[in-house]
Amino acid sequence: MERIERHACFGGWQEVYQHTSKTLNCEMKFAIYLPPMAEEQKYPVLYWLSGLTCNEQNFITKSGAQQFAAQHGIILVVPDTSPRGESVADDSAYDLGQGAGFYLNATQTPWNTHYNMYDYIVDELPTLIEAHFPVTHQRAISGHSMGGHGALIIGLRNSERYRSMSAFSPIVAPSQVPWGKKAFNAYLGEDTALWKQYDTIALLNEVKNPLPMRVDVGLDDPFYQEQLKPELFANVCDEKQFTYSLGLHQGYDHSYYFVASFIGEHIAFHAKHLKA
Distance separating alpha carbons of residues 68 and 217, to the nearest angstrom: 20
Q: Is 67 one of the binding residues for its own copies (CB under 8 A)? A: yes
**Of the residues 11, 85, 178, 222, which one makes contact with its own copies according to CB under 8 A:** 11
**Least distance in angstroms from the C-beta of 11 to its own copies:** 7
Taking alpha carbons only, the member of 27, 130, 149, 129 closest to residue 78 is 129
Pairing assessment for the beta strands 75-79 and 213-218 based on DSSP bridges: unpaired
Number of DSSP helices (H) and strands (E) in the chain, helices first:
10, 9
Taking alpha carbons only, the member of 153, 154, 118 closest to residue 139 is 154
216 is a catalytic site residue = no
19 is a catalytic site residue = no
DSSP result, 16-73: EEEEEETTTTEEEEEEEEE-S--TT--EEEEEEE--TT--THHHHHHS-HHHHHHHHT
DSSP result, 170-199: ----GGGSHHHHHHHHHHHTT-HHHHGGG-
- Strand-pairing partners, residue 15, are 6, 32
Identify the active-site residue in 50, 216, 221, 270.
221
Phi, psi at residue 122, to the nearest 5°?
-80, -40
114 is a catalytic site residue = no
Q: Is 185 one of the binding residues for its own copies (CB under 8 A)? A: no
**Of the residues 53, 234, 260, 275, which one makes contact with its own copies according to CB under 8 A:** 260
Q: Is 116 one of the binding residues for its own copies (CB under 8 A)? A: no
**Of the residues 27, 130, 253, 265, which one makes contact with its own copies according to CB under 8 A:** 253
**Of the residues 1, 2, 3, 7, which one makes contact with its own copies according to CB under 8 A:** 7
Q: Is 66 one of the binding residues for its own copies (CB under 8 A)? A: yes
**Of the residues 2, 191, 220, 239, which one makes contact with its own copies according to CB under 8 A:** 220
Identify the active-site residue in 72, 144, 149, 254.
254
Please identify, using beta-carbon distances, which residue of 118 and 258 lies nearer to its own copies.
Answer: 258
**Of the residues 61, 87, 235, 245, which one makes contact with its own copies according to CB under 8 A:** 61
Number of residues that bind its own copies (CB under 8 A): 25
Write out the catalytic residue numbers: 145, 221, 254
Positions that interact with its own copies (CB under 8 A): 7-11, 13-14, 61-62, 64, 66-67, 218, 220, 249-253, 255-258, 260-261
